Structure 1
Amino acid sequence: MANWRTRIEPFTRPLFFAWSRMSRGMTLGVRGAAVDPEGRVLLVKHTYLEGWWLPGGGVDKGETTQAAVIRELREEAGLIVRGEPRLLSVHSNERFFPGDHVLVFRIDAFDLTERTSHGEIAQIGWFHPHALPDDATRATRARLAEIFGGAAPDPNW
């Protein structure tokens, strides 16, 4: 059963998008594919969206995309990145939000600690890329097929 955040998200999304558009113009987001030594990838479940996603979020004003993915992984999953995240692909998210772009990074070196975000993430999990949970999102499945399955990166999210 969906929680209250998931139920109100379709109604609050237009307000969030309007605020994002006014405050940012074009929007830029990041997602991180953190891979552990066993080859499993980190996914998160939000309190306000359905399904499993690669962790990530928006790039703040004055922030680099690398700094944004490092921050988001720390906030959402308690993952402290060691080294530089490696840019894998860039995608247009026009279907979901006009003017939005998403950059996907791979992270292979990290430490785990407590996450700093509370209330946003309902659950975190580590999954083998070829054995994902049934409710992994379409975009998550597509990105993981690109990273681990040899699929060509789709320019659309």
Structure 2
Amino acid sequence: MLKSLTTTAFQTWFRLVRGTTLGVRILALDGDNRVCLVRHTYIPGWHLPGGGVERGESGLDAAIKEAREEAGLIVEPVQFELRSIHTNFAHFKGDHILLYRAHSWTNMPTNRAHEIAEYGFFALSDLPLGTTQGTKNRLAEAAGAPISPIW
């Protein structure tokens, strides 16, 4: 309960001091066509790894950092492709998300961020219970569905 209140207070403050927010998510499919997903400690569901772009940080730099911190994926800049840009106005009127596709990486088995409860690679036909709709939408787009501007 306290963690939820703290998270809500922090997010409210963050949104008050920043009119527009920018985040990144990483789509990483391994050689067996399994997708990397993470489950955070502070929000429900399974998500593509990602996080906020900080002041003075590029979207690409944020994607590199978040892939490493949340999923232990070491991705070289040339192995990233910007796939799409989405709005997430349902959660905040100024929120935007850049979706990067990681084409290859090496694994770092330890030192994941403390806010990650679980992570793993999952078959597209057998996603974990609680996979978010936004994540499912991005996976459908990667398989050829039209890209929606809305997360």
- TM-score, normalising length from structure 2? 0.90
Check if 1:52 corresponds to 2:46.
yes
Contact 2:33 2:123 in 1 (8 A): yes
Quick one: which of 101, 110, 113 aligns to 2:105? Answer: 110
Cα displacement string for residues 63-114 of structure 1 (whole angstroms, at most 9, x for unaligned residues): 1101101100100111100334101111110001110000111002100013
Quick one: which of 89, 99, 108 aligns to 2:84? Answer: 89
Contact 1:86 1:105 in 2 (8 A): yes
Q: CA RMSD in A?
A: 1.7
Contact 1:17 1:97 in 2 (8 A): no
Between the aligned partners of 1:22 and 1:94, the Cα distance in structure 2 is: 15
Quick one: which of 8, 12, 21 aligns to 2:15? Answer: 21
Which residue is equivalent to 1:100?
95
Instruction: List alignment gaps of at least 5 residues for structure 1.
Output: none
Which residue is equivalent to 1:68?
62
Quick one: which of 129, 142, 151 aligns to 1:147? Answer: 142
Identity %: 45
Contact 1:145 1:151 in 2 (8 A): yes
TM-superposed deviation, 1:13: 4.3
TM-superposed deviation, 1:19: 2.3
TM-superposed deviation, 1:115: 4.5
Contact 2:7 2:42 in 1 (8 A): no
Instruction: List alignment gaps of at least 5 residues for structure 2.
Output: none
Contact 2:84 2:98 in 1 (8 A): yes
Quick one: which of 5, 18, 30 aligns to 1:36? Answer: 30
Check if 1:119 corresponds to 2:98.
no
Between the aligned partners of 2:62 and 2:110, the Cα distance in structure 1 is: 15
